Chains A and B, each alone.
Chain A
Amino acid sequence: MEDKRQESIEKLKGLIENIDFAMLTTHANGKLRSRPMSTQKFEFDGDLWFFTSDNTHKVEEIEKNNEVNVAYSKPEDNTFISVSGTASIVKDRDKIEELWNPILKAWFPKGLDDPTLALLKVSVEEAEYWDSPSSTLVQIAGFVKALVTGQSADGGDHGKVNF
């Protein structure tokens, strides 16, 4: 069981590592809202981490309903990943410092001194992916079939990874 989880983690890690932005979907007063989030460079161990400010709409939304989805799209490689889980806001200074990277100054010019700086942690429960290793037309057609029907198609791979 533990091995299986580790295998799932490794698979998902490989799929998402080069995707810079993911769309985070939350419940927002009866609607579903998405927004792009910058992905962090860290070793994925079953939790996803994003930097946020603790006074944003999504923080309020997560406090009311913590179910979220994180969708990764890399159209040029025909890679699409759906990650479902529960989100929480983490204001642990040690963790913030551990994950902090100077690149983040683009978003948070005050850096670690920004009092609103917080982490949005997503504990991953389920992941699904559609992945096509080749870009030939035949394989795209096969892959695209999987997109619409939800069935695995010849050209690609639709996997479901449970955590």
Chain B
Amino acid sequence: MTETRAETIEKVNFLIKDIRIAMLTTIDRGVFRSRPMATQEAEFDGDLWFFTSKLTHKAEEIEKDNRVNVSFSEPDDNRYVSLSGTAALVDDREKIEELWSPTYLAWFPKDLEDPNIILLKVSVEHAEYWDATSSTLVEAIGLLKSLVTGERAGGGEHVVLNFA
């Protein structure tokens, strides 16, 4: 199965676009930490973008070790996506304004005036997903098999996508 980078990106975009919160895992002095992050409204083009504050632990953690994982979970339709990549803090006002949406006022009530707003960019290198679009029991069980064993099962699919 050979997919072009564009097809891979389109597939990932389709899988994650309606998931509002993802778990971002970073390495903190050898220990993994995850935290929920509000996802971007923009289409996925190979990079993930999150709004954050310069003052958070994760900003420090990423400066020391930029390897991260972002996992998306949609339990209602058994959809799970793992994206691996490297993270960088991006303090680019134009990009911040481009990605800004009034939705983010909930997090940053000072709006774009907040001097600590910064973007966290994840360059995705590797993606894996588990997806079962049907909710019948047989198919759900098929999916579950793949979840545990890592094998492809009847009802769902486990696919590894490379962004090389």
Contact = CB atoms under 8 A, between A and B. Distances in A.
Contact of B38 (A52, A67, A125, A148): A148
A158 to B, nearest CB: 9
Given A67-B31, A147-B37, A106 B25 contact: no
Contacts of A147: 21, 35-38, 107
Nearest to B106: A141
Given A34-B82, A145-B106, A148-B52, A73 B73 contact: yes
A75 B20 contact: yes
A53 B144 CA distance: 13
A123 interface: no
B84 A33 contact: yes
B9 interface: no
Contacts of A78: 21
- Which of B56, B68, B106, B108 has most chain A Cβ within 10 Å? B106
Contact of A37 (B19, B76, B148): B148
A135 to B, nearest CB: 13
Interface of A: 19-21, 23, 25, 28, 30-38, 50-53, 56-58, 67-69, 71, 73-76, 78, 80, 82, 84, 106-108, 125-126, 128, 130, 140-141, 144-145, 147-150
Interface of B: 19-21, 23, 25, 27, 30-38, 50-53, 55-58, 67-69, 71, 73-76, 80, 82, 84, 106-108, 125-126, 128, 130, 141, 144-145, 147-150
> Which secondary structure dominates where chain B touches chain A?
strand
A52 B149 CA distance: 6
Nearest to B79: A36
Contact of B107 (A31, A58, A106, A145): A145
A121 to B, nearest CB: 15
B82 A150 contact: no
A31 B125 contact: yes
Given A69-B32, A150-B57, 15 more contacts: A20-B75, A25-B25, A32-B25, A32-B84, A33-B84, A52-B149, A71-B34, A82-B35, A107-B145, A126-B31, A130-B35, A141-B106, A149-B52, A149-B56, A150-B56
A69 B34 contact: yes
Given A38-B148, A73-B21, A82 B34 contact: yes
A106 to B, nearest CB: 4
A52 B107 contact: no
B32 A35 contact: no
B30 A107 contact: no
A108 to B, nearest CB: 8
Given A73-B36, A106-B141, A107-B148, A84 B23 contact: no
